[in-house]
Amino acid sequence: MLSAAERAGAPPPGVWVSGGGADVAGLTVWTERVAGRGEDAEALAAHHRGSRRGVIAVFDGAGGAGAAPAWRGPGGESYTGAWVGARVARLATECWFREAVERAGPDGPLHEGAPEALAEELRRQLDAARPRTRGRITGSMRRVLPTTLAGLAYRLTGDAVAGHALWAGDSRAYALLPGGGLHALTRDHTHLDDALEQLRADPAMTNVVCADRPFTVDAHAWAFPLPCVLLCATDGFFGYVETPARFEWVLLRTLAAAGDLAGWARLLRDEVGAYTADDATLALVAPGFGDFAALRRAFGPRHDAVRARYGGEGPEVASRGWQDAAWRSYRAGYERHMPPVREAGAR
């Protein structure tokens, strides 16, 4: 059912445009498996027109480690530490970005010291929000206000976009390029480095943002020519597909079927809702395309190539042999712009 704003032609929440469409446009998708109880925070998307800088980020409260109650709402509802942690981390990241833009001025470097400054802001706000009474749930795996974070801080310069991926945990940041497809820009903080094995094993994280233990925010520099698509996602989007290539197929087939950004956002929401078993959040920015028709046209050839190689349906897609073969042919491109293992945080 369309909202009154949608019937009136206004873009629904989750779709934004800066500079009349000529500068940058984007969308966010946020879903909950249980309404009102989702431990993903809503995605962050902020763009400063004057400096052409922006940030997109996602936050996934670590439900197993943060299952203890941490806050009681005005109506008496109890919320977990994971729920609170993700939302405090979102606020801290937005505050860090706004302060960094103001400090850098119109032309200064935004990313100098970014991971340390962001980590410090996260620690400050999480410490202020942490419960002051000791919970009854204890154990070596428990954390206070634990959450993942994956973000892309970027700046548009002429015919290029450059920036840093900033992350902790197993949420991910990507570039989606018309000629090369989906490229991971982060490396999960787990003991497994193979993305297909991570799908199969769902390994424990070795580093998460939290209020009670040391953590790191890793950083990885990148730069791409315009136009391109940049995105961040929690594992509800990419952790329930058969092989990593299938996440790109989700992105491209919904793009091809959409008539505008709002339609793409709705199709992504409906698609992930059909296959995920978790909350799912995505933030996406598409600089340099001019309009949605140009964006869709640019990815037409890539859509056809991915459909031919990885877009099959039926029993074969569920087979281990098909998944292994798909990953062997896809892996080199997917990992081309990843940080090396040595750059990853706590191990």
Kindly calculate the radius of gyration of the chain based on its CA atoms and give it in whole angstroms: 19
Structure confidence at residue 34 (pLDDT):
86
Mean pLDDT of the chain: 88
Structure tokens at 229: 């698509």
* Count of all residues that appear for the chain in the document: 347
Q: What are phi and psi of 52, to 5 degrees?
A: 55, 35
Q: Which of 99, 120, 7 is nearest to 53 (CA)?
A: 99
Tracing tokens 């940049």 back to the chain, one arrives at: 230
Peptide bond into 225 cis (omega under 30): no
Local confidence band at 25 (pLDDT 50, 70, 90 cut-offs) = very high
Residue 63 is given by DSSP the state T
Instruction: Give the domains, in start order, of the chain with CATH numbers.
Output: 13-58+148-342 (3.60.40)
Instruction: Report pLDDT digits (tens) over 163-180.
Output: 999 999 999 999 999 999
Output the pLDDT for position 1.
31
